[in-house]
Amino acid sequence: MATWRYSTMPGGAEAVSSRNAVGRFVDFSHGGGGGRRVIKPDQLMLIRKWQLRPVKRSFSVRNVSSEQQQKVKDLVTQQQGSYNPFPPDASSIASSIKYHSEFTPLFSPEKFDPPKAFFATAQSIRDALIINWNATYDYYERLNVKQAYYLSMEFLQGRALLNAIGNLGLTGAYAEALSKLGHNLENIASQEPDAALGNGGLGRLASCFLDSLATLNYPAWGYGLRYRYGLFKQRITKDGQEEVAENWLEMSNPWEIVRNDVAYPIKFYGKVLTDSDGKKHWIGGEDIQAVAYDVPIPGYETKTTINLRLWSTKAPSGDFDLSVFNSGKHTQAAEALYNAEKICYVLYPGDESLEGQILRLKQQYTLCSASLQDIIARFERRSGAKVKWDEFPDKVAVQMNDTHPTLCIPELMRILIDVKGLSWKEAWNITQRTVAYTNHTVLPEALEKWSLELMQKLLPRHMEIIEMIDEELIRTIVSEHGKADSNLLEKKLKQMRILENVELPAAFSDLLVKPKKSPVAVPSDEFGESEEEEEAEAEEEKEEEKLKPAGGKIKSVKEGTQGKKKKIPEPVPEPPKLVRMANLCVVGGHAVNGVAAIHSEIVKDEVFNDFFQLWPEKFQNKTNGVTPRRWIRFCNPELSKIITSWTGSEDWVLNTEKLSELRKFADNEDLQIQWRAAKRSNKLKVASLIKERTGYIVSPDSMFDIQVKRIHEYKRQLLNILGIVYRYKKMKEMSASERKKKFVPRVCIFGGKAFATYVQAKRIVKFITDVGATVNHDPDIGDLLKVVFVPDYNVSVAELLIPASELSQHISTAGMEASGTSNMKFAMNGCILIGTLDGANVEIREEVGEENFFLFGAQAHEIAGLRKERAEGKFVPDPRFEEVKKFIKSGVFGSSNYNELLGSLEGNEGFGRADYFLVGKDFPSYIECQEKVDETYKDQKVWTRMSIMNTAGSYNFSSDRTIHEYAREIWNIKPVELP
């Protein structure tokens, strides 16, 4: 048998290059020592990675399990400059990629085409991430540091390949390695599907936070669900938006690591029994398992690699009924398996049906229960033989991203009391000190409420705990406000209680007793009617007599046996009994934060004002931020080079305050020329994307005007498209020379998904595409105006659109957008914003300068008065608004009926009417502001200066800044840099 020799010195590369080395004996020689053993494929992989450079320090590599721990002997040597987990040698990397294409294949061996090359490349970089992941994990275990856990129903990651190799400083080496193998890095990266784990800003924020946590060396993990189909893949047809299942996992996910040894039981339904000693037991019901899938999250130029742990659900194999299956009842035999697996099928399943509501609640509980069981297991393991539960909040911080993870509160209580044996008082103290809540909305429909009956059925023990928390809250409210003013107390209880439309507990039954009225005898006839009722009937009969046709008779709705009416009162429906999840979050946690300055004030003054008066110390602001790595450094390399050149270093990537140095060069002609060239280069890429996705050809010399975000009435895509229609109408009324003089050429780009059951949002998508179909084929208009809806908007599309944008629309009704994060991304990339004073727009405008922001519209403090004015019939619409609606109704955009869409803007009251989002009110201000945009764009020096000032002023919107604030003011954790 041949002996293979491995050398750690340069020159030994070919010794183990053949795949035939696997299974043979290898002589490991280093200096005077060595050994002889069989080489395995994973060992060969590591040999290849490290064989081209001298090893300065020893290290160990292993897979981490939840039970067995092996202490890290050392860590990878820190290279000068960018940190690389293995030498950035293109030949070594190419060998690694080739190895994975042969030994961890997902494709047949005949070809090395782009999809196969992508998976092999991703697996090769994942090896490096696992090394760092293991080192990070072990270091945290050894130090037993306090760790933050970020729970979110969404993580909108985008593609991971370029981000990972960029964070590790290996972009050039991987580009060269793939070139050696006959491929282009950019083309290979484009083979990666976006991970379908989120939908909008909530999920993207969570992913930006993970990037910053890793980059800043904070000990933290993310927890989410591993959705098989995500939200949906969006197609645009002649009928508007069409939803089809997302297929991101069909070819598997090269980044995830399944941890089959990390699985936790999850229970639904069943019943609660009480022991003679008062201890509760939740038994019976439906049992499933949550299995962990780990996704390594690398920091930028650091060894720290944290974890995103995603839960996938399954049923125990014993739940598959083999005898039933063999009897031919195949569906029935596998029912338990399907019920378990479908929990993680879709993000936000439709909840209009009871089944959909149950599935959503199951999703939320699965995330909370599995994550907390995992967190507690880690705490117990790190604590050693003696667990001190009162130290739990000193080691664990749980952040609930919106109300979806609210069940963390009763679940932590359940585990501590029922499983760990703590008292209610101890468990409640621990829970309140551990959990914190981020509020993301002021919209009533987004403040989650669940049916009390449904929760009692699905989670009986948790409902008991929630009722007890509600009692604790009632006791606190009574203690704070006293019983003297029963009206005030009743109002406070109605607004603050966790349980809505639920009678007070027995202990407080006499709290709001009001004096009874003295009974008054009311004479009645033999049919039980009072004198007042008889008088009313007489009046009705007189009215009927007037309306009676000649010789006819109007029959009463109900007649007694003697011809007299017997009134049966309409039953008054009982209001539904609900659980207010947001109220539970506020009560059960130690901190509540909004995500922009104006939003946090609305949270304190309106949304949770009663709680703010009770616990002002709980309420904070944490303005959102976005990672400058993905949103400038990697997605806009041309602009990044310019920034680096003019600021003198790449320090701005980690310290965005350096961006502010661009201000002093804003009028420099050389910088402006470079700036415009970079923007045009990015616009060319978007022009190619638009042609590929829609077939439309657009000019890169036009202004690129972009609004990309979730389709929702409050975000007012409808205002945007109505403005475009008005623009188009005015163009048509002019001669060719007049319109060319008046208007600058524009490409108006939309993107975003309307939720599948949100009918009005889908009507908006349909209308946008109809306008585009008309405008884009109008020979009179040509390149002067194009309207494009980019289908299936996601992170990868955003990474192309945002660097190319020149004007971006953030035009929500003031006071309704919590913060926004796309506005920050656009500003970072030198895009000028048009918007209202809403969300983070307020702070962005302050930072970039009022003169560099196009402002219009009503302000948040005016909104309530304007709606009241509308309800009273006092609103007088602007003639231009009426003009544009009439133009649409004329049929110029095809045969589709837009009455229901435009009907939402009509009337003074009623659901779906009365222009609740004030499109008509802000329309004149909006189109006047757009005229100002045109005039400014004609002077490219002024426009470019504004663009530079936007990038320079965006320094304060890095998620690094946000994470430092969370860590210091909510989680109380400190950076832990690996040695």
Mean pLDDT by 10 residues, the chain (979 residues): 33 33 34 38 42 31 34 34 59 93 87 94 95 95 96 96 94 94 95 94 96 98 97 95 95 95 97 93 96 97 96 91 88 90 95 94 98 98 94 98 97 98 97 98 85 97 98 95 90 96 89 60 45 54 50 44 61 92 98 96 95 97 97 97 97 96 98 98 98 97 98 97 98 95 97 95 97 97 97 97 98 96 97 97 97 97 96 96 97 93 94 95 98 98 98 97 98 94
Closest CA to 799 of 629, 624, 625, 623: 629
Distance CA 978, CA 57 (A): 15
What DSSP element (H or E) covers 746?
A: strand 746-751
Query: Using CA atoms in the order 687, 688, 691, 697, what is the torsion angle rounded to 10 degrees?
Result: 40
β-pairing, 703-708 with 807-810? parallel
Residue type, 532: E
pTM of the model: 0.86
Amino acid 832: pLDDT: 98
Question: Do 376 and 949 contact (CB within 8 A), yes or no?
Answer: no
Distance CA 378, CA 373 (A): 9
Residue 755 zone, left/alpha/beta (φ > 0; ψ -120 to 50; rest): beta
Distance CA 705, CA 107 (A): 42
Domain with 123 in it: 88-143+159-193
Residue 256 zone, left/alpha/beta (φ > 0; ψ -120 to 50; rest): beta
Q: What angle do CA 502, 503, 509 make, to 5 degrees?
A: 160
| Residue 675 forms part of a structural domain | yes
| Residue 113 forms part of a structural domain | yes
Amino acid 540: pLDDT: 55
Q: Look at the chain and count its residues.
A: 979
Contacts of 737 (CB under 8 A, 6+ apart): none
Distance CA 262, CA 215 (A): 26
**330 in active site:** no
| Residue 402 forms part of a structural domain | no
User: Which residue in 204, 440, 746, 786 is the catalytic one?
Assistant: 440
Amino acid 536: pLDDT: 54
Question: Do 836 and 809 contact (CB within 8 A), yes or no?
Answer: no
Q: Is 214 helix (H, G, I), strand (E, B) or coil?
A: helix
| Residue 218 forms part of a structural domain | no
User: Which residue in 49, 226, 618, 715 is the catalytic one?
Assistant: 715
Amino acid 86: pLDDT: 52
Distance CA 304, CA 874 (A): 60
Amino acid 196: pLDDT: 95
Distance CA 523, CA 729 (A): 71
One DSSP character per residue, 321-342 reads -HHHHHTT-HHHHTHHHHHHHG
Q: What angle do CA 546, 547, 550 make, to 5 degrees?
A: 95
Number of DSSP helices (H) and strands (E) in the chain, helices first: 36, 25
Contacts of 653 (CB under 8 A, 6+ apart): 300, 628, 629, 632, 633, 640
Distance CA 567, CA 528 (A): 10
**462 in active site:** no
Enumerate the β-bridge partners of residue 29: 34
**590 in active site:** no
**Roughly what angle, to the nearest 10 degrees, separates helices 717-732 and 759-775?**
20
**709 in active site:** yes
Distance CA 548, CA 555 (A): 10
Amino acid 232: pLDDT: 95
Distance CA 700, CA 165 (A): 31
Contacts of 915 (CB under 8 A, 6+ apart): 870, 904, 905, 906, 921
| Residue 971 forms part of a structural domain | no
| Residue 186 forms part of a structural domain | yes
What DSSP element (H or E) covers 308?
A: strand 305-314
Distance CA 855, CA 277 (A): 66
Amino acid 514: pLDDT: 59
Residue type, 258: V
Contacts of 806 (CB under 8 A, 6+ apart): 679, 703, 704, 705, 831, 832, 937, 943, 947
Longest dimension (CA), the chain: 123
| Residue 137 forms part of a structural domain | yes
Q: How would you list the strands of the sheet with 3-6, edge to edge?
A: 3-6, 25-30, 33-38
Contacts of 554 (CB under 8 A, 6+ apart): 544, 547, 548
| Residue 530 forms part of a structural domain | no
Number of domains in the chain: 2
**693 in active site:** no
**440 in active site:** yes
Please report, for the domain that includes residue 874, its CATH number: 3.40.50.2000
User: Which residue in 762, 825, 867, 945 is the catalytic one?
Assistant: 825
Helix, strand and coil content of the chain, in percent to the nearest 5, comes to 50, 15, 35
Dig out the tokens for 870 from the structure.
């509308």
What DSSP element (H or E) covers 150?
A: strand 147-151
